[in-house]
Every structure is written in structure tokens, then in C-alpha cells.
Amino acid sequence: MIIKYIKLYYDSYEKNFGDGFYPLTYKDQSCNESVDIGFEYIDGVWAQYTENCINGFDLGERKKVLNLLNDSQHHSNIIVDRLGYLI
């Protein structure tokens, strides 16, 4: 089982009361909370392994997350959330 953890930053108000959980790979003024999210490599796909179901990525963050996850042995262009939906 291959699991990698990435620290992602988010706006707690938006996550809990707004548009949803759209984390970033970097901390900024609006995204000042952080959480370590685990992704499991299953059949050529990076699947979110931990809670805090991601609704999506903004501003090219999907590619940045893939760059952090992919390595020479485990490479994919696909990320799915806890429910199996493409993010």
C-alpha cells in the first residue's frame, strides 16, 4: 500500500460555511488553516485516503498536488476524492 501525505492550506470559513473545501499547496492570507491529507495509490490513480473530502482545486493546484504525489514508480494524472469523484 502506497500512501503519501501532503500539507494543504484552506479557508476554514469557506470549508465549513461557504463554497467548500478547495485547498492550496501554500499558505496565504485567506488560507491560513492547514491539514495533512493522505492519498493512496490504487491501480494507477491517486485516491484521497483521509477525511476532509476535497471538493476541488483552484488556480492550477491540481497539477501542483500531482507533482508532489508522483514519483518514478507511482505516476498518475488522476486524483479522486473520498467518494471516488474526479478532483
Edge-to-edge strand list for the sheet holding 2-10? 2-10, 33-42, 45-48, 79-80
- H helices of 43-84, in order, are 61-69
Show me where the domains of the chain are located. Answer: 2-80
Share of the chain above pLDDT 90, in %: 92
Q: pLDDT tier at 75 (50, 70, 90 boundaries)?
A: very high
What's the pLDDT at 47? 98
Identify the band that residue 26 occupies on the pLDDT scale cut at 50, 70 and 90: very high
Q: Is the pLDDT of residue 59 over 90?
A: no
Amino acid in the structure at residue 27: K
Cell numbers of 30, please?
Answer: 485567506
List helix spans (H) across the chain: 12-17, 61-69
Which pLDDT belongs to residue 41? 98
Task: Report the pLDDT value the prediction gives residue 36, as an integer from 0 to 100.
Answer: 97
